[in-house]
């Protein structure tokens, strides 16, 4: 019975080191798609820049609509900035206050979990929150 001999990638054509005159990433790879198994460079760059958009859970959207909370561009910009500040401090679950409205946000997912307007604030207790941001 013979043991399998491991393949040396340097000896396999197209995988090993570049030859003189061939593109640095191997034949046909200079401008090809990103290798599978990981996120695309643009996606990683987008996240690193902190410009990942906010998402609203279905529950949050229902609360916003039912409670008559306005989500104008100014409010969304301030909410996004507040989530960014919470992320910079390493927060995981945060309450972001914007003009008397409390938004509970899962910071790593950039997802608004629920929203509570000023008129309903006294009735609520926020649990499992590690930070609060006034935006």
CATH number at residue 114: 3.30.2310
The mean pLDDT of 66-88, rounded to a whole number, is 94
CA–CA distance, 105 with 72 (Å, rounded to integer): 18
More confident: 23 or 87: 87
The 3-state DSSP class for residue 41 equals helix
- Assess if residue 48 is contained within a domain: no
Asked if 53 contacts 112 with a C-beta cutoff of 8 angstroms, the reply is no
Does pTM top 0.85 for this prediction?
no
Taking all residues of the chain, what is their mean pLDDT, rounded to a whole number?
Answer: 79
pLDDT of residue 107 exceeding 60: yes
pLDDT band at 7 (very low <50, low <70, confident <90, very high): low
For 22-63, write each residue's pLDDT tens digit. Answer: 555 545 444 555 555 666 655 554 454 455 789 999 999 999
- Assess if residue 38 is contained within a domain: no
Give the structural domain span for 82. Answer: 53-134
The mean pLDDT of 114-118, rounded to a whole number, is 93
- Assess if residue 125 is contained within a domain: yes
What is the number of other CB atoms lying within 10 angstroms of the CB of residue 61? 15
Q: What is the domain count for the chain?
A: 1
The mean pLDDT of 81-90, rounded to a whole number, is 96
**Cα Dmax for the chain:** 78
pLDDT of residue 71 exceeding 60: yes
CA–CA distance, 31 with 110 (Å, rounded to integer): 32
- Assess if residue 59 is contained within a domain: yes
Helix, strand, coil percentages, rounded to 5, for the chain: 30, 20, 50
């Amino acid at each position: 019975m013979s043991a399998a001999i491991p393949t040396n990638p340097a000896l396999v054509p197209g995988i090993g080191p570049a030859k003189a005159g061939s593109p640095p990433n191997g034949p046909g790879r200079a401008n090809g798609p990103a290798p599978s198994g990981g996120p695309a460079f643009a996606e990683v760059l987008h996240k690193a820049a902190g410009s990942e958009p906010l998402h609203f859970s279905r529950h949050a959207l229902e609360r916003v609509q039912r409670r008559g909370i306005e989500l104008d561009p100014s409010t969304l910009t301030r909410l996004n900035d507040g989530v960014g500040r919470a992320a910079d401090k390493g927060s995981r679950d945060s309450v972001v206050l914007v003009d008397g409205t409390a938004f509970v946000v899962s910071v790593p997912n950039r997802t608004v979990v629920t929203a509570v307007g000023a008129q309903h604030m006294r009735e609520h207790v926020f649990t499992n929150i590690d930070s609060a941001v006034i935006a």
